[in-house]
């Protein structure tokens, strides 16, 4: 009777059985059949690593009881598998939202995590000094940007999700998404000084509209529209906001979009 009372006490006090509960019941002298019935009836969270099984055996737990614990700890054999996961165990694992970023910069989604979108050096000239870019003329106030090399080092496949962690006091609307034009061994673009709100001439030729949503303080997520393959860059507000006619150097977060 005392053993049965202890058994009932353990069952009531612990809704989910563990290795310790089985050991306590075994040391109290409960028989193998009672232990097997309890394991079958009660939910269990058992540790079945080799060292755990050795500890159970050393404490006098029978092989049948240990086997029942192992069977209860294993996933249900008849559990339905989503069709998308058939033949691909990794597909059954739910995706986890990428973690937050805490450094100013631009990132892109890669393997469910944010990866740095590396910036490139841009050489700037403003209208009044360099009058043309390609075959299209510019006017005073427009900005020419030139990047060395025909392609960006970062190649992305559409659709692309980009995350911007902006500086304090900077809005996402101050960034410019630009299409880069190939020119021999370089890429070029034309934009405007003072941001997109100060448009002069045909300086919006290379601007690409985009939408964004704020996901955290100073953090904006951009899902690029169907803009087609080619070379692109995200220009920070400080990079194109000078009216000086002399050459200067800035940066742009560039990428090559592959369909």
* Percentage, residues of the chain above pLDDT 70: 70
Position 133 scores a pLDDT of: 39
Q: What whole-number distance in Å separates Cα of residue 177 and Cα of residue 233?
A: 6
Q: Which residue has the higher pLDDT, 143 or 236?
A: 236
Q: What is the pLDDT of residues 128-138, one digit of tens each?
A: 443 433 333 43
DSSP, residue by residue, 30-94: --HHHHHHHHHHS-B----SHHHHHHHHHTT--HHHHHHHHHHHSPPTT----GGGTT-GGGGSP
Q: Which residue has the higher pLDDT, 43 or 14?
A: 43
Torsions phi, psi for 64 (to 5 deg) = -65, -40
- In the chain, domain spans: 2-73, 105-258
- pLDDT band with cut points at 50, 70 and 90 for residue 174: very high
pTM for the full predicted model: 0.56
Q: Which two tokens stand for residue 210?
A: 């985009």
pLDDT (average), residues 24-49: 88
């Amino acid at each position: 009777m005392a053993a049965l009372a202890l058994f009932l006490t353990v069952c009531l006090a612990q809704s989910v059985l563990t290795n310790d509960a089985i050991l306590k019941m075994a040391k109290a002298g409960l028989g193998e059949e009672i232990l097997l019935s309890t394991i079958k009836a009660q939910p269990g969270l058992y540790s079945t690593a080799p060292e755990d099984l050795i500890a159970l055996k050393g404490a006098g737990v029978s092989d049948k009881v240990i086997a029942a614990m192992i069977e209860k700890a294993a996933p249900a054999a008849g559990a339905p598998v989503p069709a998308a996961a058939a033949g691909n165990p990794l597909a059954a694992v739910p995706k986890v939202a990428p973690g937050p970023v805490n450094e100013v910069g631009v990132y892109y989604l890669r393997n469910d995590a944010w990866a740095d979108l590396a910036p490139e050096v841009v050489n700037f000239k403003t209208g009044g000094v360099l009058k043309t870019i390609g075959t299209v003329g510019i006017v005073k106030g427009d900005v020419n940007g030139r990047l060395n090399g025909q392609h960006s080092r970062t190649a992305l496949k559409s659709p692309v999700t980009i995350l911007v962690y902006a500086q304090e006091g900077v809005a996402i609307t101050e960034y410019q998404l630009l299409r880069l034009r190939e020119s021999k061994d370089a890429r070029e673009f034309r934009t405007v000084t003072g941001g997109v709100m100060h448009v002069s001439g045909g300086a919006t030729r290379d601007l690409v509209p985009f939408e964004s949503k704020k996901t955290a303080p100073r953090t904006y997520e951009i899902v690029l529209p169907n803009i087609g393959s080619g070379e692109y860059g995200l220009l920070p507000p400080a990079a194109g906001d000078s009216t000086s006619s002399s050459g200067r150097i800035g940066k742009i977060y560039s990428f090559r979009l592959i369909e």
